[in-house]
């Protein structure tokens, strides 16, 4: 069975530049000819029952302009039968080292469907790049009754209704630009491959590790090694083990339906390790991955030195507008922590995508978020159960964003009431002028909008006194309270404590809160002396109502 294609070439970029210089002939109009295709010609091979990743076609596309492959339709000019020989046919794009490695390495673009006499695949959406190889492989049935041949052909373009896009029955390669082809010649693989009816199996299981590679550093006291395993010849897997520095560790977590396996490597000790994975099939054939060298360096993660940031703290609710979140992991020495994963606790209506699974060499994990539901979305980030911190993104109703009012603005409509427009895209009510003037000196920054625009902004609640500025009480209770963040009231137990905090004239700062508004506040710890409360620090640090309410 062929396991490699194009492996004689030393490097993708060098080889393809030479090919490009020799073979590129720009097509006239919206079509390309066979000179824009490089057929790498898969060699003769024999395919036995129950085998997979058998390469039958290997080609590259050369496009003078950026373009995207949408559909491909091929023919087999041999006599192999799709009901007796070809179980599945798959399209891949090259990843990793030059040439076909297959399962767990190269990227699957999809499976072909059969529509006599062609094999076709659509909705590919693969951009063309300078060094890109496409591979076509097949999997054979476990029982083959009759020998047969397969010889793949990329036929001359047939666009039946001349609409420049692929329809069932069309033949050739169809591009996003409509620059389809080839227009001048069939491209045949130089050799045929043969299906054998013999149950001939001398190949062990194919095994890959998908989340661990050579020279990696593991920054944790545990790591789940993941991968894929599948037996060539379909005779099953046994004696499946992870080999670490010559010690064999049995792998029990294996799903034969999905071919996925994992091993929870725990209680790691700092040092260097040589790792491979091996297994036998039930016919005694042996398979093993290449050995890789891994370093364990468990850095002590520091929540204080780590950080979370967002490039946008507000996004529209269209599901397309995104905020990029960057989590930077640092250790107690403020050095970046690489190869460490995170856990994200977020609302279910916040979409998270494009996340790199482990921190890079700079300690960064980057991902994007979007939503179709308005409101404040808070993400809490942790790593290994250790909380790193949180970040909040406000999802705006687009109708509101069109008003042009910025967060933190004072707004009013035709009435006299003034509102605070907070970071959660809601407006907050000032219960009276005394609360307002604890935050602002005058009304010079109030922005007027229409009544219709104001109606789009829902009320989030009432504004409470700015922390540190005033003392408050209610008429039915003689206790005097200092105001802390987010409307938390702290009873000042003695007059001496009040004098120490606010001076001899502390009584002039006391203002009554009506019983109906007292429910906007919460009761916190009492204050016995001036070391337990710092009004000036609160005044200087809680600079906005959004900060006060932790929005």
Secondary structure (DSSP) of 314-379: EEETTSS--EEEEEE-BBTTS-B--S---EEE--TTEEEES--SS--TTSEEEEEEEESS-EEEEE
In the three-class reduction of DSSP (H, G, I as helix; E, B as strand; rest coil), residue 35 is classed as helix
Work out the number of other CB atoms within 10 angstroms of the CB of residue 478: 7
What's the CA gap between 465 and 435, in Å, rounded? 5
User: What's residue 399's pLDDT?
Assistant: 62
Q: Is residue 302 part of a domain?
A: no
The candidate with the shortest Cα–Cα distance to 218, out of 320, 298, 334, is: 298
C-alpha 431/C-alpha 42 separation (Å) is 79
DSSP tag of 499: H
Nearest to 457 by CA among 494, 504, 402: 402
Sign of CA dihedral 292, 298, 299, 302: positive
Read off the tokens for 394.
Answer: 């406000």
**How does DSSP classify residue 301?**
B
Nearest to 69 by CA among 32, 19, 15, 18: 32
Based on the fold, state whether residues 344 and 362 are members of the same structural domain: yes
Q: Round to whole Å and give the CA distance between 43 and 405.
A: 67
Short-list 259, 263, 250, CA closest to 229:
259
* Residue 370: inside a domain: yes
Q: Which residues contact 236 (CB under 8 A, 6 or more apart)?
A: 256, 281, 282
Assess whether 137 and 183 both reside in one domain: yes
Cβ 423 vs Cβ 313: under 8 Å: yes
In a domain, 4, yes or no: no
Strand partners, 366: 326
Residues 67 and 97 in one domain: yes
List beta partners, residue 296: 218, 271
Chain centroid, CA 399 distance in Å: 29
Do 274 and 293 meet the contact criterion of CB atoms below 8 Å apart? yes
Residue 211 lies in a domain: yes
In a domain, 323, yes or no: yes
- The CA-CA-CA angle for residues 97, 203, 104, to 5°, reads 35
Calpha distance 153→534 (Å, rounded): 81
Question: What pLDDT does residue 400 have?
Answer: 67
| Beta pairing class for 45-47 and 193-195 | parallel
User: Do 51 and 180 share a structural domain?
Assistant: yes
161 shares a domain with 81: yes
Residue 3 domain flag? no
Q: How many angstroms separate the CA atoms of 508 and 526, rounded?
A: 21
Statement to judge: residues 350 and 292 lie in one domain: no
- Of 251, 256, 259, 247, the residue nearest 224 (C-alpha): 251
Is residue 114 located within the same domain as residue 29? yes
Q: Which two tokens stand for residue 350?
A: 């916040």
Nearest to 135 by CA among 89, 167, 181: 89
Q: Domain check: are 72 and 184 in the same one? A: yes
Specify whether 367 is located in the same domain as 246: no
Residue spans of the chain under pLDDT 70: 1-30, 398-402
Among 174, 195, 216, the domain-final residue is: 195
Question: pLDDT value at position 7?
Answer: 34
Instruction: Give the domain extent around 414.
Output: 399-462
Phi, psi of 409 (to 5 degrees): -85, 155
The owner of tokens 């090694």 is: 225
Cβ neighbours of 60 (radius 10 Å): 24
Domain boundary among 377, 396, 415: 396
Residue-wise pLDDT for 67-115, tens only, equals 999 999 999 999 999 999 999 999 999 998 889 999 999 999 999 999 9
If one counts every other C-beta atom within 10 angstroms of the C-beta of residue 421, the result is: 25
Buried b / exposed e along 198-221 (16+ C-beta atoms within 10 A): eeebebbbbbbbeebeeebebbbe
- Residue 225 and residue 164 in one domain: no
Do 188 and 279 belong together in one domain? no
Write the DSSP symbol of residue 403: T
3-state SS assignment for residue 71? strand
Specify the DSSP class assigned to residue 155: P
- Strands in 446-448's sheet, in edge-to-edge order, are 446-448, 410-412, 419-421, 427-429, 459-462
Res 4: pLDDT: 38
pLDDT 10s digits, 416-434: 899 999 887 789 999 999 9
Q: Which of 195, 219, 236 is the last residue of a domain?
A: 195
The pTM for the full model equals 0.60
Q: Give the chain's domain count.
A: 5
Q: What's the confidence (pLDDT) of residue 398?
A: 62
Report yes or no: 64 and 26 within 8 Å, Cβ to Cβ. Answer: yes
Structure tokens at 14: 């060098």
Judged by DSSP in three states, 539 sits in helix
Beta strand segments in 221-291, E:
223-231, 237-244, 247-250, 253-255, 260-265, 271-281, 286-288
Q: What is the CATH number for 377?
A: 2.60.40.10
Statement to judge: residues 129 and 268 lie in one domain? no
> Tell me, what CATH number does 19's domain have?
2.60.40
Measured CA to CA, the distance from residue 265 to residue 225 in angstroms comes to 7
Q: Among 36, 116, 123, which Cα is nearest to 76's?
A: 116
**Assigned domain for 77 exists:** yes
Give a yes or no: residue 7 inside a domain. Answer: no
């Amino acid at each position: 069975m062929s396991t490699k294609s194009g492996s004689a070439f030393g490097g993708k970029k060098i080889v393809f530049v030479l090919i490009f210089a020799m073979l590129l002939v720009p097509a006239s109009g919206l079509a390309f000819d066979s000179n824009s295709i490089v057929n790498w010609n898969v060699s003769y091979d024999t395919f036995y029952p129950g085998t997979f990743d058998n390469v039958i076609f290997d080609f590259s596309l050369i496009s003078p302009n950026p373009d995207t492959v949408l559909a491909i339709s091929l023919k087999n000019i041999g006599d192999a039968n799709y009901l007796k020989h070809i179980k599945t046919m798959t399209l891949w794009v090259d990843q990793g080292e030059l040439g076909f490695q297959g399962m767990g390495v190269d990227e699957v673009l999809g499976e072909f469907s059969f529509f006599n006499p062609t094999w076709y695949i659509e909705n590919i959406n693969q951009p063309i790049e300078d060094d890109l190889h496409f591979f076509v492989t097949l999997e054979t049935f476990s029982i083959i009754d009759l020998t047969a041949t397969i010889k793949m052909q990329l036929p001359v373009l047939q666009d039946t209704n001349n609409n420049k896009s692929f329809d069932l029955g069309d033949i050739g390669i169809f591009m996003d630009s409509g620059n389809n082809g080839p227009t001048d010649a069939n491209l045949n693989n130089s050799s045929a491959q043969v299906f054998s009816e013999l149950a001939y199996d001398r190949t062990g299981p194919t095994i890959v590790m998908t989340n661990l590679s050579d020279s990696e550093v593991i920054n944790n006291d545990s790591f789940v090694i993941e991968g894929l395993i599948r037996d060539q010849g379909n005779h099953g897997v046994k004696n499946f083990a992870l080999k670490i520095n010559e010690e064999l560790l049995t792998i029990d977590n294996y799903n034969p339906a999905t071919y996925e396996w994992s091993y929870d490597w725990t209680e790691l000790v700092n040092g260097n390790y040589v790792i491979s994975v091996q297994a036998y099939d039930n016919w005694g054939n042996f398979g093993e991955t290449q050995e890789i060298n891994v370093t364990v360096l468990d850095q002590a993660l520091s929540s204080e030195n780590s950080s979370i940031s967002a490039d946008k703290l507000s996004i529209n609710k269209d599901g397309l507008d995104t905020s990029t979140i960057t989590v930077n992991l640092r250790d107690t020495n403020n050095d970046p922590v690489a190869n460490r994963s995170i856990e994200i606790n977020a609302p279910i209506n916040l979409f998270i995508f494009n996340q790199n699974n482990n921190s890079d060499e700079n300690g960064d994990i980057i991902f994007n978020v979007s939503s179709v539901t308005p409101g404040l979305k808070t993400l809490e980030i942790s790593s290994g159960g250790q909380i790193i911190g949180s970040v909040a993104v406000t999802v705006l109703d687009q109708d509101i964003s069109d008003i042009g009012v910025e967060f933190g603005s004072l707004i009013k409509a035709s009435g006299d009431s003034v509102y605070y427009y907070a970071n959660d895209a809601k407006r907050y009510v000032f219960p009276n002028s005394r609360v307002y003037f604890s935050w602002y000196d005058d009304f010079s920054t109030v922005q007027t909008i229409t009544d219709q625009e104001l109606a789009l902004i829902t009320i989030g609640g009432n504004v409470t006194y700015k922390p540190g500025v005033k003392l408050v009480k209610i008429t039915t209770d003689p206790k005097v309270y200092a105001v802390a963040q987010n409307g938390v009231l702290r009873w000042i137990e003695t007059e001496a404590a009040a004098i120490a905090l606010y001076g001899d004239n502390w009584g002039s700062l006391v203002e009554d809160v009506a019983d109906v508004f007292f429910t906007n506040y919460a009761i916190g710890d009492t204050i016995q002396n001036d070391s337990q409360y710092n009004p000036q620090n609160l005044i200087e640090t809680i600079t906005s109502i959004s900060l006060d309410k932790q929005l």
